[in-house]
Amino acid sequence: MESLTELVQFMQPSQRLDLKKIALTHVLGLTGTEEGKCAVFSVDDLLTALFHLTADESLALAKDAVLALINLTADESGATKVYNTSREIQPVTISSLLHIPFVNNFILLQAYELITTAIRHIINENSNLADPWSMVLSNLTREESIANGTLDILEENPAIMMQLMEAFAKLQYNKSKAKLDYLGPIFCNLTQTHRGRDLLCRSKYNLLDKILPFSTYEESIVRRGGVIGILKNICFDPLYHEIILREPDDILNVILYPLCGPEEFTDEENELLPLELQYLPDTKKREADPGLRKMLLECLLQLCATRKSRQHLRSKGVYEILREYHIWEQKEGRHKDCLLACENVVDILIKKEEEILVDNYKEIEVSNDMKEKFIQEDEEYLKDPL
């Protein structure tokens, strides 16, 4: 503890570059282990030092400081600690400097705005630190209260949201070759809140439509997974089911396309399918990642909640698509979680509404005993070998 406290003096912005580098390299190493992170968190001045070194004139030094923040925010407790510490830093007025030479070993002329700093780098097309800062913001916004704090900024400044969307949708936006793939998880994290879902789904700027094309972006599972995560979050909220199932079937196609293969359907079955899903080529491959396949199937399960939605899904050949998908998953995908998720959807769609007898599954109250029974049945299913 004492040695870490002593390091702080060597991490002052005005300190010699070589001393800052040695001290920061040690701190960065500590953030790579749980024990080391606990040690860093025990000295608030170290976090203050890291915040200010992210703006150091040395790009290498600034990058190492941001990398340390990535490690420190990797879990929820760390993200909360970093965020709260940044908000506790108070600016020092010029007049107070006459009486207080140092505050936490630093002269602070302004408060440290962690979220704003991350966003500023992400939307700056010349920033060399856009990618690491996007990873920091992705870590931070997994925590719901921080996601809401980020939304406060975006709602107050709609132009910033548009810049973030442009940075995501425009490949090679960043002239320093930052990929900005982590904007996908950032947007996904924001949609864990009602405000975030509303921002993407009901914006006059059609923000959701700008994101959807990246649901099949093969170059990055991070970007692709972020978009699919957005769809899952939206599907879990019945308020947006009409948007998901709107005509034309562009959003439903986004959910179904990764689950489709090259199988041939009868002419009668093809007529059910949305036009974009008919007569797919022999080279068509399904989503390779089982986690993402499962998320897409969970989207469909949520859309099965109401009679109207179930009828719509049947009319679009969703059962037929899942029938072929299930065969493929058994033979080639071989992932039990995905098979179970598929069967949960098929079990609903294969039934007639006269058998289901409820308009909205979400309005049914399920006892704790029944919930426990369903969980146990799923666990038993997953134990059986393929």
Query: Which of 181, 204, 236 is at the close of a domain?
Result: 236
Q: Are residues 253 and 380 in the same domain?
A: yes
Write out the residue range of the structural domain in which residue 192 sits.
Answer: 122-236
Q: Are residues 369 and 260 in the same domain?
A: yes
Q: Are residues 206 and 311 in the same domain?
A: no
Percentage of the residues of the chain whose pLDDT score is greater than 70: 93
**Is 214 a domain residue?**
yes
CA–CA distances in Å: residue 362 to residues 22, 98, 234, 303, 357: 57, 63, 15, 11, 13
Q: Are residues 266 and 380 in the same domain?
A: yes
**Is 104 a domain residue?**
no
Q: Are residues 227 and 256 in the same domain?
A: no
Averaged pLDDT for residues 51-77: 97
pLDDT at 95 over 70: no
pLDDT tens digits, residue range 254-311? 999 999 999 999 999 999 999 999 999 999 999 999 999 999 999 999 999 999 999 9
**Is 103 a domain residue?**
no
pLDDT at 202 over 90: no
Q: Are residues 221 and 270 in the same domain?
A: no
pLDDT at 10 over 70: yes
Q: Are residues 332 and 258 in the same domain?
A: yes
Q: Are residues 381 and 270 in the same domain?
A: yes
Q: Are residues 210 and 156 in the same domain?
A: yes
**Is 243 a domain residue?**
no
Distance between CA atoms of residues 281 and 286, nearest Å: 12
Q: How many structural domains comprise the chain?
A: 3
**CB atoms closer than 10 angstroms to residue 232:** 20
**Is 97 a domain residue?**
no
Distance between CA atoms of residues 255 and 268, nearest Å: 22
Distance between CA atoms of residues 24 and 71, nearest Å: 14
Which single residue is written with the structure tokens 């799923």? 378
**Is 283 a domain residue?**
yes
Distance between CA atoms of residues 157 and 149, nearest Å: 13
**Is 361 a domain residue?**
yes
Is 17 strand, coil or helix? Answer: helix
**CB atoms closer than 10 angstroms to residue 347:** 11
Q: Are residues 272 and 380 in the same domain?
A: yes
3-state SS, 320-384, equals HHHHHHHHHHHHHHCCHHHHHHHHHHHHHHCCCHHHHCCCEHHHCCCCHHHHHHHHHHHHHHHHC
Q: Are residues 352 and 267 in the same domain?
A: yes
pLDDT tens digits, residue range 37-46? 999 999 989 9
Q: Are residues 214 and 328 in the same domain?
A: no
